Amino acid sequence: MELINFKQDNCKRCYACVRSCPVKAITLLHKNGFPQVLHDRCIGCGVCLNECPASALSFKDSTVAVKQLLQSEAKVAAIVDPSVSGEFPDIADYRRFVKMFRSLGFDYVNEVSFGADLVAQAYKDILENFKGVYYITTKCPTVVAYVEKYFPELIPNLVPIVEPMFATAQIVHQQYGDDVKVVYIAPCLSAKYEISRFEGNSKIDEVLTFIELRQLFNEFHIKEDFMEFSEFDDPLGYKGALFPLRQGLLTAADLKNDILTGNIVVSSGAGDVKKALESFQTDSKEIHRHFDLFFCDGCIVGPCMSKNGVKFLRHTLTTDYVNKRLKDFDMQKWNQQIERSKSLDLSRTFQEDDQRLAMPSDEKIKDVFKTLNINMVDDVSKMGCGACGFDTCLEFAQAVGQGLMSPDLCMHYTFDNQENYIATLKETNTKLEETERALKQSEQIARKEQSVATDAKETFKVMMQKLPVGVVIVDENLNVIHCNRSFIDLLGDDAKMIDEVIPGLQGADLKTLVPFSFYNLFSFVLKNNENVTNKDTWVEEQLLNVSVFPIQQFKVVGAVIRDLRSPEVRREQVIKRVTEVIDENLSMVQKIGFLLGEGAATTEKMLNSIIDTYKNDNEAVE
């Protein structure tokens, strides 16, 4: 059964519940960092409910089920725990309090204190007739669950007597029939689980906590001021009303427990109960005592009572209530009712539900201590700050090794990590500051460069517009990137109209502006990355001189276009081309002269050779 509900939206991840759980039924191993309740390990002590500051934990609600019972055709009895007098100090007269129960719809209202009287007598018979076995009292369902889950070897030492609520349930069924429904009004959370284990005459249908009872009173606007007097239904309790207090069982059973001669050790509170059970397990033969245990510090401070209640005030209210009731108490009638109830079977059995985990190996423990950065020493079992919820570092390391806890719960480990994190953070901050300074310097340089580039760009634009020749720059798709006014004027009226829609023809397709012979030059330069200079081409009736050159290989090309018919270009071209003709003629004359000179020299050589031959022949004849 899931007694504890967890609402993640409320959780602040303070881990108070993890630290406070005495059996470590709340772990910190979930990937999202939120606690997780292990319901099988839970003993229903409710410690976590009071420790959680954010109301992220709540207990199983029974108000809806109880309202359904009250609205049904069945007879319903409320059996009220004796600690109720400490829970409701604001109700001056218990008789009006009983009437408030009846106003909710309960047919019968009975005191659990009479069932406590029966249980006290059964305890007296067992504890005063010692037969070699020392016992642990079982009036607290949380203690029973604790033993069954974490000290199963002690089950034979549990007193085999039911809790007072089940004895009272038997009385109710005996008096009103087997069909009557029973609701236990309690300060205890674990009772919600405990009732699922009993059937027959001991059956209790629902447990309504004092907190839930207040909710129902408020919901139905039931207030003491408007209530008449009403008495509890018989049988009425005697000293069993002291059951919620330390020593209450002993007083109700008339068991003398003198410090020197008594044989019962009384202990209460989660920490002391754990130590008591450990001591009983190891030293019971030397202690020679029975153990009377309350997991809470008495039922008057149960987990399902209103918060902020003062223990000692509740103690006083409880004893005052009992004293008031005992002034006119009818002992003869009580004895008759006790006699009539002796036929009830108050015995019970227990069931082992071992939730202990195997101890991790020594190597595993060493690994955990290494992770925690704690030195392994011989007396490590005595070390521990307790901040993790464990008495010693060794116990915490064992829980980590068992998979119940995360190292993050160790303050020493967390502080070390924080210090390392802070050191790393400082180093990172220093580097960030240096980077920031470098970035600022780079930004300043970039701004200067940007300013220079902007100025250069503006200068470039002005220069382009001032040039008397057309200039155009296109991308790899032959779309215009930049062009000047002269270029637009060279292309004619169509280009001027486009310019009105697309200023500067930026993004316009060159293929739509000029004939194939013109833009083919650009395609050639883009493809071959070679210059095309002084290429004459016709655009409509204009003879243009075009020079195309690559700017960015295979991606961007530029061109300079001149109108050969313009006076400036015509004069320049005539001079240039006459110069070219003169240069070409001079070159030709030089070549002709060279050839003529070379021919004359050859002729001279031939004539000289003939003369020499002739002279030689004459000299031979003589």
Domain boundaries, the chain: 61-231+238-343, 359-409, 467-563, 566-617
Give residue-wise pLDDT tens across range 170-180: 999 999 999 99
pLDDT exceeds cutoff 60 at 570: no
Lowest model confidence (mean pLDDT) among 173-187, 214-228, 369-383: 369-383
Q: How far is Cα 377 from Cα 282, in angstroms, rounded to an integer?
A: 25
Mean pLDDT of 157-172: 96
**The pLDDT of residue 608:** 63
pLDDT one-digit tens code per residue, 230-278: 999 999 999 998 988 888 888 888 887 776 667 889 999 888 999 999 9
Question: CB–CB of 294/272 below 8 Å?
Answer: no
Q: Which residues pair with 535 in a beta bridge?
A: 546
- CA 307, CA 288: separation in Å to the nearest integer? 38
**Looking at residues 479-494, what average pLDDT do you find?**
89
pLDDT at residue 152 in the model: 96
Say if residue 329's pLDDT is above 80: yes
Tokens 């108070």 correspond to 16
d(CA 461, CA 231): 107
- Burial group, residue 527, by CB count within 10 angstroms (0-12, 13-18, 19+): exposed
Decide if pLDDT at 213 tops 60. Answer: yes
**Predicted confidence (pLDDT) per residue in 333-357, tens digit:** 999 999 999 899 999 999 999 999 8
Q: Pick the more confident residue, 569 or 175.
A: 175
Using pLDDT thresholds of 50, 70 and 90, give the confidence band for residue 94: confident
Say how far apart CA 539 and CA 537 lie, in whole Å.
7
Q: What's the pLDDT tens digit per position in 294-311?
A: 998 888 888 888 876 678
Arithmetic mean of pLDDT, 408-418: 75
Percent of the chain with pLDDT over 90: 42
Start-to-end C-alpha separation, the chain: 158
Mean pLDDT across 528-553: 86
pLDDT band at 491 (very low <50, low <70, confident <90, very high): confident
Do the beta carbons of residue 165 and residue 79 sit within 8 Å?
yes
Q: Cα 501 to the chain's mean position, in Å?
A: 58
**CA dihedral over 367, 371, 375, 378, signed as positive or negative:** negative
- Reported as a pLDDT band with limits 50, 70 and 90, residue 194 is very high
Per-residue pLDDT at 489: 87
pLDDT at 404: 81
Res 62 pLDDT > 90: yes
How large a percentage of the chain has pLDDT more than 70? 88
Residue 150: how many CA atoms within 13 Å on its side-chain side?
18
Residue 576 has pLDDT above 60, yes or no: no
- Given a cut of 50, is residue 578 above it in pLDDT? no
How confident is the model over 466-481, as a mean pLDDT?
Answer: 90
569 has pLDDT over 80: no
Q: Which fold has domain 467-563?
A: Beta-Lactamase (3.30.450)
Q: What is the DSSP string of 424-472?
A: HHHHHHHHHHHHHHHHHHHHHHHHHHHHHHHHHHHHHHHHHHH-SSEEE
Q: Residue 402: what pLDDT?
A: 84
Backbone dihedral angles phi then psi of residue 209, each to the nearest 5 degrees:
-75, 165
From CA 110, how far away is CA 337, in angstroms rounded? Answer: 14
Backbone phi, psi, residue 254, to 5°: 55, 40
Q: Rounded mean pLDDT of 361-376?
A: 80
Q: What does the pLDDT read at residue 150?
A: 95
Higher pLDDT, 602 or 228: 228
Lowest mean pLDDT among 322-326, 360-364, 550-554, 567-571: 567-571
Separation in Å, CA 504 to CA 472, 486, 487, 570: 10, 11, 10, 27
**For the chain, what is the mean pLDDT?**
85
Query: By the 8 A CB rule, do 380 and 392 touch?
Result: yes
For residue 372, give Cα distances in angstroms to 339, 376, 616. Answer: 63, 11, 126
Mean pLDDT of 118-139: 91
Q: What was the pLDDT predicted at 514?
A: 86
Crossing angle, helix 94-104 and helix 210-219, to 10 degrees? Answer: 70
| b/e per residue 89-100 (b: at least 16 CB within 10 A) | eebeebebbbbb
What pLDDT band is residue 445 in, cutting at 50, 70 and 90? confident
pLDDT mean over 54-73: 94
253: three-class secondary structure by DSSP: coil
